[in-house]
């Protein structure tokens, strides 16, 4: 549904799904902690490890792009989608 309504539906369904996943994931994280007394520290380290890639990835990518000026993203062809996730991208030099 390439429309505004379709985007709102997608955002609602995706947001609900991610919220359910996050709640269950957080509950499991707390359940498997080795020491309940240090839960805050352990969950802080887990959060840092999760978000570090999101913070460092764009920095590294923009540095490579600026240094080489030749980075472009190429999405896999539809025939290769069963073998690779559709959201994956491969970097190629021009």
Instruction: In whole angstroms, give the CA distance from residue 29 to residue 42.
Output: 9
Q: 23-36 b/e with 16+ CB inside 10 Å = b?
A: eeeeeeeeeeeeee
Longest dimension (CA), the chain: 53
Residues 45-70: tens digit of each pLDDT: 888 988 898 889 888 888 888 888 76
In the predicted structure, residue 78 carries a pLDDT above the cut 70: no
- Residue scoring higher pLDDT (51 or 76): 51
Question: What percent of the chain is helix, strand and coil (3-state, nearest 5)?
Answer: 70, 10, 25
In the predicted structure, residue 9 carries a pLDDT above the cut 90: yes
pTM metric for this prediction? 0.48
In the predicted structure, residue 88 carries a pLDDT above the cut 50: no
Residues 11-33: tens digit of each pLDDT: 999 999 999 998 998 889 888 88
Q: Which of 18-22, 71-75, 90-94 has the lowest mean pLDDT?
A: 90-94
């Amino acid at each position: 549904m390439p429309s505004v309504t379709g985007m709102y539906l997608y955002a609602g369904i995706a947001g609900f799904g991610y919220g359910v996943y996050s709640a269950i994931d957080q509950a499991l994280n707390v359940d498997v902690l080795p020491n309940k007394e240090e839960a805050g520290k352990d969950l802080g380290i887990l959060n840092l490890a999760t978000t570090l890639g999101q913070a460092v990835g764009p920095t590294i990518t923009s540095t490579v792009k600026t240094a080489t000026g030749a980075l472009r993203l190429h999405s896999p062809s539809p025939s290769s989608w069963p073998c690779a996730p559709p959201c994956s991208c491969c970097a190629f030099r021009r």
